[in-house]
Chains A and B, each alone.
Chain A
């Protein structure tokens, strides 16, 4: 959310040719610091100017005591956390005047205070805040591996009518933990789960994420085409 210059000029150009989605990492929806009003003001102004199809952020916390950690940090899956996050999402939606999408995380720890599985936590918040879901298929694969559950079980237990977008990506694997690095091509495990997701949620928009080791655009487009073809093949 910069004031101008090249990033803004590129955004203007892209917007003239394509529908766009805004995806944030700093809304701090699960944080206990107050919501950042200056950030929300800037976002509202940007949303008003560019009218994105989708505005999304993550179900996590990112800031504490005024300090930003620039990471998507996990919450305990408790009733109190549901109530806390849902109220903040509701406030953001009220302020922006539109529904937002919240995304599930990749996580590397789970808290023993959790009272329910992650999918139940996510679903309850979506229902309570009346928001939509951005289901990141790679994050499900990563967290399912790290916390030892079946990824299909996650898909089966989120409300289909709220899923409005998917993310797919690659990850790294150090043997013990899978880590959401977005620096590899989409692996077969993610492609396969994406195919299941298409079956359950229908053809919602999908975004291929790649943040590091970025190949040529042609290679990325080929990867996206290949993944779509894979999904089509599996669904025949």
Chain B
């Protein structure tokens, strides 16, 4: 058998495990191909693939499974795994696209809930980062503030949602029904005990925080907010959003982008 044959065998085997194809061709390559034992052996691999991956998703999205029911969750998880096979060596990453997939194939509310659960995973094992407080602004002269850039902690996730998924996620008794609701923005972050915190933000604060996290400086963030407020209002909006971010330990770095470039 050449390396080319090894590659062909693995191609056929993975195609069988993931899609159920090539069974006859594979069976011919097994010892005792006509025995029931060989067919059963192959089935162990195919069954284990779906059981393992569905279990990983159920582990990472327990509230979604509770709302959908085990059977429906397993059906959707199986479809997701077929549509988006794992591309990471870690099962931890399998659910990365699950919320988006649910949004297309089920509905917005359950997708909102999945987004929350995925953000909570990031709280659980995302990068460690020591937040800075508002005193970190004091090292910069007021005339430099326009060129300051603000980085938010990597475990903070901002989610725009149109359901009561946050209430459902917090409801340990399982009494609240998942349904559509008024649009809101959630901030999910890690607290000092490494537990998740859910904070509801007003629309303007959330847009400012998103602008801060994307733009290179306070000045360019201000420009990107031109549709949200008048030129006179923007400094106050920025200040309010920054104070909220400092108060919740969401700021990881404040630096002078002009100095960094020079």
Chain A residues close to B by CB (< 8 Å): 1-9, 26, 28, 31-32, 36, 39, 61-71, 73, 75-76, 78, 80-81, 84, 107-114, 146-147, 176-177, 179
- Tell yes or no: B86 within 8 A of A by CB: yes
Q: Given A4-B128, A73-B13, do A81 and B1 touch, yes or no (CB 8 Å)?
A: yes
Residues 26 to 51 of chain B near chain A (Cβ within 8 Å)? 29-31, 33, 36-38, 40-42, 44-45, 48-49
A80 touches B30 (CB 8 A): no
A68 touches B88 (CB 8 A): yes
Interface centre among A5, A109, A146 (most CB of B within 10 A): A109
- Tell yes or no: B174 within 8 A of A by CB: no
Kindly identify which residue among A32, A70, A112, A177 contacts B31, using a CB–CB cutoff of 8 Å. A112
- Tell yes or no: B182 within 8 A of A by CB: no
Kindly identify which residue among A32, A67, A71 contacts B48, using a CB–CB cutoff of 8 Å. A71
Kindly identify which residue among A4, A67, A112 contacts B14, using a CB–CB cutoff of 8 Å. A67
Contacts of B53 in A (CB 8 A): 70
A108 touches B41 (CB 8 A): yes
Q: Given A6-B194, A32-B10, A112-B33, do A146 and B41 touch, yes or no (CB 8 Å)?
A: yes
Q: In the assembly, what is the distance between CA of A70 and CA of B33, in Å?
A: 25
Q: In the assembly, what is the distance between CA of A108 and CA of B48, in Å?
A: 12
In the assembled complex, the CB of B151 is this many whole angstroms from the nearest CB of chain A, namely: 16
Contacts A67-B18, A112-B31, A177-B44 aside, 8 further interface pairs with beta carbons under 8 A come to: A1-B90, A6-B125, A32-B7, A64-B11, A108-B45, A110-B31, A113-B1, A177-B41
Contacts of A39 in B (CB 8 A): 89
- Tell yes or no: B126 within 8 A of A by CB: yes
Q: Given A3-B127, A70-B91, A76-B1, do A31 and B10 touch, yes or no (CB 8 Å)?
A: yes
Contacts of B17 in A (CB 8 A): 69, 71, 73
8 CB-based A-B contacts, threshold 8 Å? A5-B123, A6-B125, A69-B18, A73-B14, A80-B1, A84-B3, A113-B9, A114-B31
B128 touches A80 (CB 8 A): no
Contacts of A61 in B (CB 8 A): 10
A32 touches B89 (CB 8 A): no
A110 touches B45 (CB 8 A): no
In the assembled complex, the CB of B98 is this many whole angstroms from the nearest CB of chain A, namely: 16
- Tell yes or no: B92 within 8 A of A by CB: yes
Q: Please give the number of chain B residues whose Cβ is less than 8 angstroms from any Cβ of chain A in the complex.
A: 49
- Tell yes or no: B5 within 8 A of A by CB: yes
A76 touches B6 (CB 8 A): yes
Kindly identify which residue among B10, B30, B45, B89 contacts A112, using a CB–CB cutoff of 8 Å. B30
A108 touches B128 (CB 8 A): no
A64 touches B1 (CB 8 A): no
Contacts of A2 in B (CB 8 A): 90, 92, 125-126
B126 touches A3 (CB 8 A): yes
A4 touches B126 (CB 8 A): yes
Q: In the assembly, what is the distance between CA of A67 and CA of B89, in Å?
A: 9
Q: In the assembly, what is the distance between CA of A150 and CA of B181, in Å?
A: 64
- Tell yes or no: B124 within 8 A of A by CB: yes
- Tell yes or no: B2 within 8 A of A by CB: yes
- Minimum CB distance partner of A111 in chain B: B29
Kindly identify which residue among A1, A8, A68 contacts B128, using a CB–CB cutoff of 8 Å. A8
Contacts of B49 in A (CB 8 A): 69-71
Q: In the assembly, what is the distance between CA of A147 and CA of B128, in Å?
A: 48
A32 touches B126 (CB 8 A): no
Interface centre among B18, B38, B45 (most CB of A within 10 A): B45
Contacts of B91 in A (CB 8 A): 70
In the assembled complex, the CB of B140 is this many whole angstroms from the nearest CB of chain A, namely: 28
Q: In the assembly, what is the distance between CA of A3 and CA of B1, in Å?
A: 41
Q: In the assembly, what is the distance between CA of A130 and CA of B38, in Å?
A: 33
- Minimum CB distance partner of A5 in chain B: B125
Q: Given A64-B14, A71-B17, A71-B52, do A7 and B37 touch, yes or no (CB 8 Å)?
A: no
